Every structure is written in C-alpha cells, then in structure tokens.
C-alpha cells in the first residue's frame, strides 16, 4: 500500500484539494492517505474543512498576526520535517502557488518523497505579478515529479521548461470538482446566512466583489474602491456585496471609501458554501481571485478581473473573463457596459468553461495507480 500526504494551508487550496482527499479516501485498499494543514490561513481554512468534513491528521497551526514571507517559509519547512520523517510518505501532493506549496515542495523533496503538483503549469512569466505566487509555482514546478495540469496550455508551459511529457497529465481543474459537488448541497441545505441575505437581496441586481492580492495593495485598492463607488452610485437599486479580506491593507481603504454607501454591503469573509451561493445568485463578479476565474464560468457568470496579468489566459481567450486591472475608468466602463448590453452579457454567460468537467480527481488517481 502506498502512502499519500496531502499538504495545504489556505482556503483556496483547501477547496481545491478537498475533492482529491475525498476521492483518495474511496481507495483505501490502495492508499493510506493523510492530510497536513499548515494553517497559513486559519479561520478561513477551517470553514472549508468543516464543510467538506475533513479532519487533518497533522495541523501545524502556523498563522500569526503580521506574519511575513521569510518567517512563514522557514517555519513551514522546519515544521514539516518531523511529519515527513514519521509518516514517510511515498507521494506528497501540493497545490498551485501559495507559500505553503513552495515550502512544502522543498521539504518533501528533502524527505525523498515523490512530489505531485496539482494545478501545475500556470504562468505569467512575470516574477512580480502575481507576487509571490508566480515564483512559488515555478519553484514547485522545478521540484515536482508529477504535474497535473488543468489545461493543455498549462501543459505546453511545462513542456517549454523541459519537463518530461510522461510526467504531465491534463486533468481539468479540481475546483470544478469541488464546485459541482457543492452546489446541490448548498441549495438543499441553505445556511442561516443564505436565508437572511436572501431577504435583503429580494430581486435586486447583485454584483459580487472579492479582492486581496498583494500587488493591488495601496493605490490599486484606492482605485478599485473608487470604481465600486461610482458603480454603486450609478444605480441605487443595484446591490454590491463585498466579503472583505481580513488583511488590514484591504480593510482600511475598503471601509474608508465604501462603508457609508447604502447599496454596498461590506461583510466578513464567507464560508465556502455561502460564497458559492452568492456566486450563483450574482449577475456579475468583480475579483482578483484566481479560483473565481475558474469557478464562475461553470455557473454562467461573467467575470471582470482586477489584475493586469493572469496565469489563467484560457479564460480570457474563451471570453469568460475580462482583464480590467486596477484602472478605475476601465472597471466602471466594463461593468456598466456588461450590465446594459444584454447581447454581450448573454454571450459571456453561455461560453464554455475551459477548466474541465469536474472529473479531475478521478484522472489524478488513475494516473497514480498506474505508476
């Protein structure tokens, strides 16, 4: 029996790794699978673990107020050493582009395990955008033994970097697995939050906003908030719902510029199931999140991306998302244009999701079984 250790630390990783954990648990005759969380994000991570009913075998609980990348990277590597020595996994699975991903891939390499990268091959080739995620994923890409790419373009990126084609599998993105498995559950078992906000929403047009990227901190967020203010003032019947990230560099400009607007609802970060419901209920999504760029097209929701570059160009090429950066005028123009141009809106809503069919985890397990 082979031993798997699945490592993640943030809410987005947890969402995307949860269906893989659940799928491996169905194959307990072939694999002993354990989960390690670094808790790079604590509260937001725990919400996802609860929803998917996953109890970590190892919890490093590393989140500290004001933590920096130096301390976090070093602490993850050092803290994983005894776990890797005790469990001695054959395969270690990391996801995407977080600091947990980069540091865990280094630690797993030191331990001698085969390292498997879920959501491999995404690139902007600009090391500062997104920061530090672009370098995190490139470092993981050099270390990992097996690369599970969500799209053929991601595979092509890896091939250009001289990664052996036999070690790459195009799977689609596991976030679609998670989304499709969760939508029905959310509709059948609505939370108290969903029941309450449904009363507030009534039949109003809803724009859902998220924003947290480091490269947008400072002037970028000032411009984003200025744009949201203009969009809100354009139509007071329109409702903007913004679950505000806990980072003080996000909280400060958002609260200062948007707090007193009657049709802007600033709320705490949402549990995964509540966020899915809001995505499904929204007319349009404005975000700098990578995961939302992948999820929203499966729900037929157009997305405006608050970034100048994206490591997910498939969505741009497919027409399901539009890059608007932090340009205040462009954010306002594209939002109001989409909301007023029914033909353009309907076309974006109907486009095919380039990120898969919800069967990524099954493909990954079949590949590992055949090794």
Could you tell me if 310 and 293 are in contact, meaning their C-beta atoms sit under 8 angstroms apart? yes
Name the DSSP class of 259. Answer: T
d(CA 44, CA 204): 28
H-only helix segments in the chain? 11-25, 43-52, 69-87, 99-111, 133-143, 152-160, 174-188, 192-201, 219-234, 248-258, 272-281, 290-295, 313-318, 328-340, 342-350, 360-370
Q: How many CB atoms lie within 10 A of CB 367?
A: 16
Active-site residue flag, 212? yes
Q: Which of 95, 137, 245, 312 is catalytic?
A: 245
Q: From the candidates 42, 123, 147, 214, which is the catalytic residue?
A: 214
The closest alpha carbon to 305, from 319, 278, 336, 326, belongs to 326
> Is-catalytic flag, 133?
yes
Cα(271)–Cα(269) distance, rounded to whole angstroms?
Answer: 7
Residue with structure tokens 């069967």? 359
Q: Which member of 41, 95, 123, 212 is catalytic? A: 212
Nearest CA to 293 out of 205, 355, 217, 216 is that of 355
Active site residue 352: no
142 is catalytic: no
Catalytic residue chosen out of the listed positions 13, 23, 97, 311: 97
Q: Read out DSSP for 21-58? A: HHHHHTTTTTEEEEEEE--SSSHHHHHHHHHHT---SE
Q: Is 97 a catalytic site residue?
A: yes
Q: Map residue 217 onto helix, strand or coil.
A: coil
Residues 6+ apart with CB under 8 A from 337: 344
* Catalytic status, residue 119: yes
Q: Find, among 3, 1, 5, the residue nearest to 108 by Cα.
A: 5
Catalytic residue among 13, 23, 119, 295: 119
Residues recognised as catalytic: 97, 119, 133, 212, 214, 245
């Amino acid at each position: 029996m082979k031993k798997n250790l699945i490592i993640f630390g943030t809410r987005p990783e947890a969402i995307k790794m949860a269906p893989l954990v659940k799928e491996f648990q169905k194959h307990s005759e072939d694999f002993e699978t354990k989960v390690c969380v670094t808790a790079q994000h604590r509260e937001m991570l725990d919400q996802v673990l609860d929803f998917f009913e996953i109890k970590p075998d190892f919890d490093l609980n590393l989140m500290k107020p004001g933590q920096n990348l130096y301390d976090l990277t070093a602490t993850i590597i050092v803290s994983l050493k005894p776990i890797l020595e005790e469990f001695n996994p054959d395969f270690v699975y990391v996801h995407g582009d977080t600091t947990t991903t980069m540091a865990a891939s280094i630690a797993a390499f030191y331990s001698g395990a085969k390292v498997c990268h879920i959501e491999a091959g995404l690139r902007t080739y600009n090391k500062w955008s997104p920061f530090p995620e672009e370098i995190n994923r490139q470092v993981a890409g050099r270390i990992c033994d097996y690369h599970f790419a969500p799209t053929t373009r991601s595979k092509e990126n890896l091939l250009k970097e001289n990664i052996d084609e036999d070690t790459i599998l195009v799977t689609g993105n596991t976030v679609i697995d998670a989304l499709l498995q969760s939508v029905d559950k959310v509709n059948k078992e609505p939370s108290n939050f969903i029941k309450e906000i449904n009363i507030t929403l009534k039949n109003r047009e809803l724009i859902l906003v998220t924003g947290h990227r480091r490269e947008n901190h400072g002037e970028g967020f000032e411009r984003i908030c200025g744009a949201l203010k203009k969009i809100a003032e354009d139509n007071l019947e329109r409702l903007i719902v913004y679950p505000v990230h806990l980072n003080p560099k996000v909280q400060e400009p958002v609260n200062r510029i948007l707090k007193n607007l009657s049709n802007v609802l600033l709320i705490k970060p949402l549990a995964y199931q509540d966020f899915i419901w809001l995505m499904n209920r929204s007319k349009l999504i404005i975000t700098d999140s990578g995961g939302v760029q992948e999820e929203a097209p499966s729900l037929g929701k157009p997305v405006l991306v608050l970034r100048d570059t994206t490591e997910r160009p498939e969505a741009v090429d497919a027409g399901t998302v539009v890059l608007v950066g932090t340009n205040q005028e462009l954010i306002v123009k594209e939002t109001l244009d989409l909301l007023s141009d029914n033909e353009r809106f309907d076309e974006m809503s109907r486009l095919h999701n380039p990120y898969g069919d919800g069967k990524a985890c099954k493909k990954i397990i079949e590949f590992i079984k055949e090794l």
